[in-house]
Structure 1
Amino acid sequence: MEMTWNNCFSPKRFGIQKDQEDIRTQYERDWDIIIFSSPFRRLQNKTQVFPLPEEVFVHNRLTHSLEVASVGRSLGKIIGKKISDLPEVKTDDNARPFYRNSLKNVLSSACLAHDLGNPAFGHSGEEAISKYFKKRDTKKPDDIEFKNNFTDAEWKDLITFEGNANALRVLTMQQHNRDKGGFRLTYSTIGSILKYPCESLASDKKILHRKKYGFFKIDEGVFLDIAKELNMIADNVESRIAYKRHPFVYLVEAADDISYNIIDFEDAHRLGILTYEEVSSAFLEIISHNPNEDIKWVTKQAEMLKGDRNESIGFLRAKSINALIYKCADVFWENKEKILKGNFEKSLIEDIPELQSVMQRIEKKSIEKIYNARKVVELEIAGFRIMSGLVEDFVSSALTPITERDKEQKKILELLPKQFSFDESSSPYVKVMHIIDFISGMTDVFALKLYRNLRGIEI
């Protein structure tokens, strides 16, 4: 069936056949389910970019996700209204109210959930989890024997652990003694976070929607179920599972891009990494391209607030985000047919010609001065040691046959919480995925404490 604006959404909930009546819409319930969940709460203790304990006023994954959700809601309102006025949607009593009233809720919920699969310690966390497996990707007899425990697809998952695929897993997996279907969100919300809808072996850095991958082999059935329910378009990749992006993904991605580009810059100013002039000039350039803003008035207002430079930058940050929301909405609307067919091969923020130079300047400065700041690099190195060390301790214990485990390995596995425990008859891949479920969900503080305990640094 061809994907259309009328059939690309679904109020059905993953893992539930029949649902009870509720005062809230299905899509409003998605937001509430995520907000009250443990994985979402744990984001408050996961680094976004800057180390957490000393600088409590910079962003962590929780505050970032809330801000992305706010931007996503605005994009959903703008685009939802436009789609609801399309001739084919206007006459559909199911689609029209969805776009007018509910798209904003789907996008804000998806934005809340978009980082749930990201491990501790910022951007290096994902790579750190894979480090143990990469280290064993050698020609040594022991390592060859180890690698032979896994199929090619399973091994690719392990040597390229992916937070996006893990987010799908967190939202849908059934843990021991827990409800079937995980969070039981609507298919629409889950589909909106599938940024790279393909398996790991189909990933290709040159193609936007396959630059990374969106599901682990263990979750293949879950992914295919979602793709079918939302009428997603299969991509032509020989003998591999790959689909085109769902149209709502572009809006969730734009909300994330807008938020971290602008807010990392604001945080860097708060920490004294970037000067007031560097940040304000970039923000004013973005705002100057918003026809709805009087740039002279904005500049004057920012000058008046300059007695508190953080306040002045905060004002310009809000105006910049607003400008980017409208620009991204315009790009989506101008390319809506390509986007619906899954043939739009750029992110929305990359397709605003008049803002390319300033956005590239922000990206260049972010890489030079923010992501390579000493504290950030120190945190990444620590994250590598901690996460790959934990993976090594738990995986080597889990994959040692039960009759051959020494006392230390048995004790390590006793630390695995009930919901992550595995059946001893499971395949090596399933055992490893249970371990990774546990480790990827840890907060920075918990991972550090456990690592110190296991290494005898702290008791």
Structure 2
Amino acid sequence: MMRWTRLLDDTRLGDDRKTATRAETARSEFQKDHDRLIFSEPFRKLGRKTQVHPLPQNDRVHNRLTHSLEVSCVGRSLGELAGKRLHERGLLPAGVVAADVAAIVQAACLAHDIGNPPFGHAGEFAIRDWYAKRDPGFFDGMQSATTQDLMTFEGNAQGFRLLTSLVDSVGLRLTYATLGSFIKYPWSATHAPRYKPGKFSYFASETTSFRTIATSMGLIEIEPGVFCRHPLAYLVEAADDICYAIIDIEDGIEMNLLVPSEVEQLLLSVMPAATRAQYDLHRIGRTDPQRIRWLRGKAVDVLIEDCARAFFAHEQAILGGTFTSTLVDSGSPQVAAGIQAAKNLARERIFTHTRKMEIEIGAYAAVDTLLDACSNAARELIAADPAHPLSYRASRVLGLMGELAPTPSTGLEESYRRINDFLSSLTDNRATELAQAIRGHG
């Protein structure tokens, strides 16, 4: 069984120094994690990255930044409920209070999409497809694990790489507890086919960091390289599930893909009878947007309470590493059915929107252009010698990559990881601009 005294570890990756006590600083170590993320450049860039709709013309539609902030608010509430319950039972380690559990979940929620490339999931698929189209000889000299990482590029694993390796070469130095809560799929690409195809949380290059974090907190190792989740990762997942189910249908109204009445009925389906009766009185004289906002707030409250109950109902299985469901699916059948109905509605009516599909096709072209240019420049750099100096074009492309550009000593594998680092760091707008410029359409 995992133990909370180890799971709530405030040790920072890459920093063995003793941290200051709460009495010596205005913020706990977990609150500092939240602040480090908020002030980081990768977090700011989420403001111009796709949530569902790439390059939206309606500025009221969610992007990755607004989504992450909303998820963090829901996560904080879930963490607060969990922290209070753990405190009441005397399970929190010395120096940790209920608010710290809330801060851990909130910080992990802020970071949960930080590794996503431009254009959302379309960008992920575009990167995977580009590598899948390469001839087998393209990967000569690379380890099989690296090849698999490239061909199944995953935003979750890219996020872990960013948090632990990329920012100033050491990551953001977050606490083990926050990093553990961030890890949704605690295995590598080589294990993914047996656990959840296409989903994993660490690349081969971050194996050591991942293992250090997992073993230090006492996460249960299921097989070599595969661990059970940190318990708080289930709260992060629940916060994300709650938000994107509701956000998607709210955005559907904004984009005139759904009508308020059908969203109204869907949100009411998760409410208890008393809240539905309260709504019958509240709706009188209110506009459609006012009614939907009221219902959204009530729905979030219901979902938070339901997921918190499910968390403690399954606490022993979670701590034993045997829980295989989600908190949303394991709670009230009425709530689970409502969330599934929202997801189905989004899939059938929103994800097939013509403009969304048009821009996603364009996203593929942009990703192809950028990967073509960067890979050609990297290979030319590696092969360069006095008889075959680097071309001017290649030097300019590498210059665009800035501090993420490969060097002559980087090697082929790390060069491609850096290319993916660079591409993932771009916003939708910047990726589009650079691809146009490379194609001569600036």
Q: Deviations over 1:353-411 (max 9, x none)?
A: 22333222211111111111111111211111112321121012202312344332232
Aligned-CA RMSD value:
1.8
Note the C-alpha offset of 1:93: 5.3
Label 1:392 to 1:282 Cα distance change in 2 as closer, same or farther (>3 A).
Answer: same
- Over residues 218-238 of structure 1, what are the superposed CA-to-partner deviations in whole Å (9 max), with x where a residue is unaligned? 1111111111221111012xx
| Distance in 1 of aligned mates of 2:254 and 2:407 | 49
1:194-237 CA-partner distances (Å, limit 9, x unpaired) = 000111100136x36x761111111111111111221111012x
Q: 1:262 aligns with which of 246, 249, 268?
A: 246
Structure 2 residue 393 is matched with structure 1 residue 408: yes
* Distance (whole Å) between structure 2 residues aligned to residue 284 and residue 299 of structure 1: 11
Task: State the partner residue of 2:261.
Answer: 277
Where 2:193 maps in the other structure, the secondary structure is coil
Displacement, 1:144? 2.5
Moved more, 250-259 or 424-433: 424-433
Query: Partner residue of 1:340?
Result: 319
Unmatched runs of 5 consecutive residues or more in structure 1? 137-142
Which runs of 5 or more residues in structure 2 are unaligned?
none
Q: 1:140 is matched with which residue?
A: none
Q: 2: CA distance between counterparts of 1:388 and 1:303?
A: 53
Match of 1:316 in 2: 295
Q: How much does 1:52 deviate?
A: 3.2
1: CA distance, partners of 2:126 / 2:34: 30
TM-score with structure 1 setting the length: 0.90
In structure 2, the residue matched to 1:223 is: 210
Which position in structure 2 is the counterpart of 1:139?
none
TM-score normalized with structure 2 length = 0.93
- Within 1, Cα distance between the matches of 2:93 and 2:210? 28
Q: After TM superposition, where is structure 1 displaced by more than 4 Å over at least 4 residues in a row?
A: none
- Write the mapping of 1:45-444 to structure 2, written as runs, cut at 5 A: 45-86=48-89, 89=91, 94=94, 98-136=96-134, 143-174=135-166, 178=168, 181-204=170-193, 207=195, 212-236=199-223, 240-288=224-272, 293-305=274-286, 308-352=287-331, 353-400=333-380, 401-403=383-385, 404=388, 405-417=390-402, 419-444=403-428
Q: Percent identity?
A: 34
Q: 1:113-134: per-residue Cα shift (whole Å, max 9, x none)? A: 1110001112211111222211
Write the deviation string for residues 410-434 of structure 1: whole angstroms up to 9, x where unpaired. 32112221x2133322331111111
Contact 1:270–1:310 under 8 Å retained in 2: no
| Cα pair distance change 1:230/1:304, threshold 3 Å | farther
Number of residue pairs matched by the alignment: 432
Question: Cα deviations across residues 281-308 of structure 1 (Å, max 9, x unaligned)?
Answer: 000111237xxx5321123213432xx2
Q: Distance in 2 between matches of 1:304 and 1:322?
A: 24
Contact 1:40 1:116 in 2 (8 A): yes
Tell me the alpha carbon deviations over residues 285-344 of structure 1, each in whole angstroms, 9 at most, x when there is no partner. 11237xxx5321123213432xx2112111111111111111111111100010112211
Between the aligned partners of 1:367 and 1:426, the Cα distance in structure 2 is: 42
Does structure 1 retain, via aligned residues, the 8 Å contact 2:54–2:428? Answer: no
Contact kept in structure 2, 1:302 and 1:313, CA below 8 Å: no
Letter of the 2:281 partner, please give it: K
Distance in 1 (CA, whole Å) between partners of 2:233 and 2:56 is 33
**Aligned amino acid, residue 236 of structure 2:** V
Q: 1:174 to 1:384 in 2, by over 3 A?
A: closer
